Amino acid sequence: MATGKGKKTVLKFDSEDDVAVALAKYTADLSAKFVAQKGSFTVVLSGGSLIDTMRKLVEAPYKDSVDWSKWWIFWVDERVVPLDHPDSNYLLAWNGFLSKVPIPSTNIYAINDKKSPEGAADDYEARLKQLVESKGLPLSATGFPKFDLMLLGMGPDGHVASLFPNRPQRHEKERWVTFITDSPKPPPPRITFTFPVINAASENAMVLTGAELAYMVNIALGNGVAPDGIPPPITEVSAEDELTFFLDKDAASKL
């Protein structure tokens, strides 16, 4: 199991819509907190159903109460495809969320989609290091970039970001951003933050809805063991301050 120093909170809701409402309030409250503390809010997104579950954030009362000009957006993982490709996490986020709020374009860190998977990972890590050098992004005590909030999902196999079971990237301890060319979930080429970066975030939110995730949620929260005896990647997630699980009743049905 993850051994980060932050606390873990598990929130259960009756429906996915209830999760969406709670996630909007949680994110808006954190935005206000970090903007007041340091003048910015660094948010890392994943793909999948998470973006749809963020929908309440761009509705009243939150849309007009959040200071979007202070937001900085990053991706925990990205498919190495053109940014206008249907598989792009950037495009998913743009259509579902980013196009509806006035975040400065210079604060949105999409990948360089003209590069190879390795080149895109190197480029993204270099850009993060430039932000650290310019004091736009602090380092955690572990020496990895410290984002304010990561909004994360999980696959039915327990993968987080593009850190999959039976792939070596989940064990990377030095790099900030790495790449994979044989993802078991298409498309195969991707870049991804590593676990040291994910776990250095102040706040991590695991947003998990749907019955297909219930088995792995049970394992993630320490109530079961994977069939092969190897803990899935989800068990490695922690946070500097707090890791919060947002579960609907279907995802929590085996707890």
Q: What is the pLDDT of residues 193-238, one digit of tens each?
A: 999 999 999 999 999 999 999 999 999 998 877 878 889 999 999 9
Question: What is the rounded CA–CA span in Å between residue 210 and residue 199?
Answer: 25
Among 215, 219, 248, residue whose Cα is nearest residue 233: 219
What does pTM read for this prediction? 0.96
Angle subtended at Cα 80 by Cα 74 and Cα 85, rounded to the nearest 5 degrees: 90
61 three-class SS: coil
Least confident range of 1-10, 55-64, 215-224: 1-10
Which domains are present in the chain? Answer: 7-248 (3.40.50.1360)
Structure tokens at 32: 């206000």
Half-sphere exposure at residue 51, Cβ-oriented, CA atoms within 13 angstroms: 18
CB-count exposure of residue 115 (10 Å: 0-12, 13-18, 19+): middle
Residue 130 has pLDDT above 50, yes or no: yes
